[in-house]
Amino acid sequence: MHGALEDDRTGAGRVTTSFDHLAPGSELPPLARVVTREDVAAYAEAGGDHNPLHRDDDVARAAGFPGIIAHGMFTMGHMAAGVVSWAGEEATIERLSAQFRAPVFMGDEIVAGGRVRSVDPATRTAVVETWVTLQRDGKTEWPIRKGEAVVRFA
Amino acid sequence: MNPAAEGTTYPDVAFTVDPARVAAFRDLFGQRSGVPPTFVTAAEFAVLPAIVDDPALDLDFSRVVHGSQDYTFERPLREGETLTIRARLASIRVRGGNGFLTIEIEMLDAQGLPVCTARSRMTERAPDA
């Protein structure tokens, strides 16, 4: 599913998707990565979100979590990576949305996915339903549910 | 959270799309070129302190969770450009002790043209919830 240059850490593949072969129902290749403390610390620095829920286990436990949780925007960044690596970096993201539903703990494997809802040949634009799931205690959790991307292909 | 703060606008903040931070985002999300779309969150955080510290809004940020996020792009961000960040409290609802806040942030380029509009929905959970 992924190209030969797949990145072991971020999961980002190098798929070249041809707009002309897209149809409603076309699936995006799932993009998986394991979330680490190092990733979350690097994200806090780059994104400027220094909320202690993402840095301090004691604060996170006081809020009812087993330890620090990933930023919602880290998970949305991964969702976007799934879209970008599918559409190609020359494509333009016109809209991106996500509803956050479940926390992501350190060591969780998050999987970004998506499915084409509609295509508009006149503008070379695709509307894509997106999501991010993970498996915990035998159940599927939805860190992102009802995400959407509008992508204009090059 | 005080519902009377609905409609508040905050002073414009300048935000430069710093190439080093963009490179860190690319590295984190495996992108080789360009500005990853969710980098705009860094621009939102340029204005967030004014909202979090606004005594009229009276937000307890330690109880805030991010409910949803929506970005509409007129064009991709460009490395090195400086954007004007303008924030408004678009909606505030309080229900059952929980507060629901929608922040709308406009990002304009040096010509004053829109680049991105961001909508963040935040929930301030009731104490002891």
- Each domain of chain A, given as residue ranges in start order, spans 19-152
- In this complex, is the C-beta atom of B66 within 8 Å of any C-beta atom belonging to chain A? yes
Interface of A to B at Cβ within 8 Å reads 7, 9-12, 39, 42-43, 45-49, 51, 71-73, 76-78, 80-81, 84-85, 89, 92-100
Q: Tokens representing B56?
A: 């009229």
Q: Which fold has domain A19-152?
A: Thiol Ester Dehydrase; Chain A (3.10.129)
This prediction's pTM: 0.93
Q: In chain A, whose CA is at the least distance from the CA of B128?
A: A63
Tell me if A93 and B73 make a contact (CB, 8 A cut-off): yes
Average pLDDT over residues B75-97: 96
Q: Which residues contact A131 (CB under 8 A, 6 or more apart)?
A: A79, A112, A113, A114, A142, A144, A145, A146, A147
pLDDT tens-digit readout, A122-146: 999 999 999 999 999 999 999 999 9
Is the model's pLDDT at B49 over the cut of 50? yes
- Tell me the pLDDT tens digit for each residue of A21-38: 899 999 999 999 999 999
- pLDDT at site B129: 47
pLDDT, one tens digit per residue, over A112-121 is 999 999 999 9
List, in order, residues 6 or more apart from A97 with CB less than 8 Å away.
Answer: A147, A148, A149, B68, B69, B70, B71
| pLDDT for residue A4 | 43
Amino acid at B85: I
- Structure tokens, A108: 């969780």
Q: In 10 A of CB B42, how many CB atoms?
A: 21
